[in-house]
Structure 1
Amino acid sequence: MLYAAKSAACLVLASLAVGDIRSRRLPTRAVLLVACLYGIDAAVAGVSIASLAEHLGAAAIGFALFALLFRFGWMGGGDVKLAAAVFLWAGPAYAWPVFFIVSCGGLVLGLTALIMGLVHRHATQSAPAPTQPASSCSVPYGVPLAFGGIAAIWLPVLNSL
C-alpha cells in the first residue's frame, strides 16, 4: 500500500507526457491528481506538518519560477501547473536534482526539436512553402517535467535503501 500512490502518480505522469507529445496539452485534472496523490502518499507515510509545509514551499517556488517563464512566453500554462506538482513531490531535499533532470531533459528535447526543424527545412527547401515563425513552434516540456516527477517520487525511496 505504501507504494500505491507513488506508482499511480508515475502512471499519471507517463500519461501526461504522452498526451503532451500528442496534443501539447496537460489536462488540469490529471495535474491535480498528481498533486493529490502526493497528499495521499504523505498521509499514508505519516509526514509531519513541518515537512508538508516544506514541500508546499518547494511547490510554490517551482510554480513561481515556471510562471515567470510562462510570462515571457517560454512555457505553457499546463507546464507551470505540472512543475508545481512535481516540486511538491520533490520538496526542498530533492528540488535541485529534479530541477537538473528537468533542465537537462528540456535542453535535449529543445535541441532535438531544433535539429528536426532544420532537417525538415533543408529537406523541403526546394519546394515553395511559407516559413513557419519560430514562435509557433512548441516543445512538449511536459515530457521532461514528467521524468523529473518520476525522479522526485522514487529518489527518496532509492536513497533510503
Structure 2
Amino acid sequence: MFGQVAAAAALACVAGAAYADIRHFEIPDGWSIAVAALFAVFAVTATTIEPWWEHAAAGAIVFFIGALLFDRGWLGGGDVKLLAACALWAGFSGLPLLLLGTVFAGGAMAVIAVVGRKLARPGATYPAFQYNGPLPYAVAILGGAILLASVPPLLSPAQAQTIAR
C-alpha cells in the first residue's frame, strides 16, 4: 500500500515538473529531488524489489548519458536530472519502457510544436511555437513515467524461475 502511495506521489512530482517546464521552461531541482527521495523511501520499505544497486545504476547511467547530451546542447539540465530520477524508479527492467515512452511522447510533442509553429500568428509569444523555440521536454518524460506506471512490473529473473517451477 505504501509503495503505491509513494509511486503516485512520485508521478505527481513528475507532473509538477512538467507543469513548471511548460510555464517557465525550467524544472526546479526540488521536483527531481522529491522523485529520487520518494524512491529511496520506497526502496527501504518495499518487500519485492530488484536489488537497490540496479536501480541506482540505472539512474547513474541515465544521468551520465544525459550529461553528455546536455553538453552537446540536446537536452536541458533539469530534463537530465528528472529523467535520471525517474530511472531510479524504473531500474534496469523498466528502463526500456521509460525511455520508449519518453521518446514517443517527445515525438508527439515535436509534431504538435511543428503544427503549432505553422498555425501560430507572427510574433507568437509562447516560445515553443516560435521558430527553433525550446520544447518543455519534462512533458515527454511525464509520458514515459505514465507508461512505466501503467504497465505491471516486469518479473525479475528469480521471480520468473519461481513461476516456471
With structure 2 as the length reference, what TM-score do the two structures score?
0.80
Alpha-carbon offset, residue 141 of structure 1: 0.4
Q: Which amino acid aligns with 2:147?
A: A
Q: CA deviation at 1:144?
A: 1.2
8 Å CA contact 2:62, 2:83 repeated in 1: yes
Letter in 2 for 1:149: A
Any idea what SS the aligned residue of 2:40 has? helix
Secondary structure of residue in 2 paired with 1:2: helix
Q: Distance in 2 between matches of 1:2 and 1:58?
A: 19
RMSD: 2.3
Structure 1's unaligned 5+ residue stretches are: 126-131
Pairing partner for 1:124 from 122, 127, 137: 122
2:98 corresponds in structure 1 to 98
Amino acid in structure 2 at the alignment position of 1:147: G
CA distance in 1, matches of 2:59, 2:31: 16
CA–CA distance in structure 2, aligned partners of residues 119 and 30 of structure 1: 33
SS of the aligned residue for 1:148 comes to helix
Q: Tell whether 2:138 aligns with 1:142.
A: yes
Partner of 2:16: 15
Distance 1:60 1:158, change over 3 A: closer
Q: State the distance in 1 between where 2:131 and 2:113 align.
A: 14
Give how far 1:47 is off. 5.6
Aligned pair in 2 of structure 1 residues 56, 92: CA closer, same or farther (>3 Å)?
same
Secondary structure of the equivalent of 1:139? coil
**In the superposition, relative to structure 1, how do residues 52 and 156 fare at CA in structure 2: closer, same or farther (>3 Å)?**
farther
Q: Report 1:6-85 matches (<5 A).
A: 6-46=7-47, 51-85=51-85
* Superposed displacement of residue 118, structure 1: 2.2
Which structure is higher in RCO with an 8 Å CA cutoff and minimum separation 6?
1
Q: Is the 8 A contact 1:67 1:80 kept in 2?
A: yes
Deviation at 1:157, TM superposition (A): 4.8
Deviation at 1:156, TM superposition (A): 4.0
Alpha-carbon separation, structure 2, partners of 1:58 and 1:156? 19
1:101-158 Cα shifts (integer Å, max 9, x gaps): 00011111112112211222xx439xxxxxx662xx1000001112222333453458
After TM superposition, give the deviation of residue 14 of structure 1 in Å: 1.2
Change (3 A) 1:144 1:43: same
When the two structures are superposed, what TM-score results if normalisation uses the length of structure 1?
A: 0.82
Contact kept, 8 Å, 2:94 with 2:153, in 1: the verdict is no
Question: 64-73 or 30-39, which moves further after superposition?
Answer: 64-73
SS at match of 1:140: coil
2:94·2:148 contact (CA, 8 Å) conserved in 1? yes
| CA-CA distance at 1:11 after TM superposition | 1.3
